[in-house]
């Protein structure tokens, strides 16, 4: 999974670098999400250190991806879904209610 995660990381950074300035979306600070530090713990063996480094990186990239996607969704389609979904991002509670055309058009103005 290292290659797919690294490709996702690279793709997110490129997408954000190219598209966010065009639409004046504030960029996500990648370093705020990715922490690779547990490999420094002396009580872990080499395999545990490697696993901890991968987990810190992979989970950080996924959190970074979620925030990039959340900011994109907030810009392009800030409407709640018709059905309840698990694990919505922090921005979701500020989205417009599903089926509210008046609110949507007022927000677009």
pTM, whole model, 2 decimals?
A: 0.89
Give me 66's structure tokens: 């979620």
Q: What is the pLDDT of residues 6-40, one digit of tens each?
A: 999 999 999 999 999 999 999 999 999 999 999 99
Give me the residue spans of the domains in the chain.
1-76, 77-109
pLDDT at 81 over 90: yes
pLDDT at 107 over 90: no
Q: Residue 10: exposed, middle, or buried by beta-carbon count in 10 A (0-12, 13-18, 19+)?
A: exposed
Residue 105 has what pLDDT? 83
pLDDT at 76 over 80: yes
Residue 102 has what pLDDT? 87
């Amino acid at each position: 999974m290292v290659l797919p995660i690294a490709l996702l990381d690279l793709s997110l950074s490129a997408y954000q670098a190219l598209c966010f300035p065009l639409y004046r979306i504030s960029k996500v600070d990648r370093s705020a999400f990715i922490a690779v530090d547990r490999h420094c713990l002396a009580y872990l063996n080499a395999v545990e250190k490697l696993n901890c480094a991968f987990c810190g990186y992979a989970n950080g990239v996924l959190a970074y991806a979620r925030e990039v996607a959340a900011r994109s969704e907030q810009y392009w389609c800030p409407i709640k879904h018709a059905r309840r979904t698990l694990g919505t991002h922090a921005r979701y509670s500020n989205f417009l209610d599903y089926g509210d055309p008046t609110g949507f058009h007022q927000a677009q103005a």
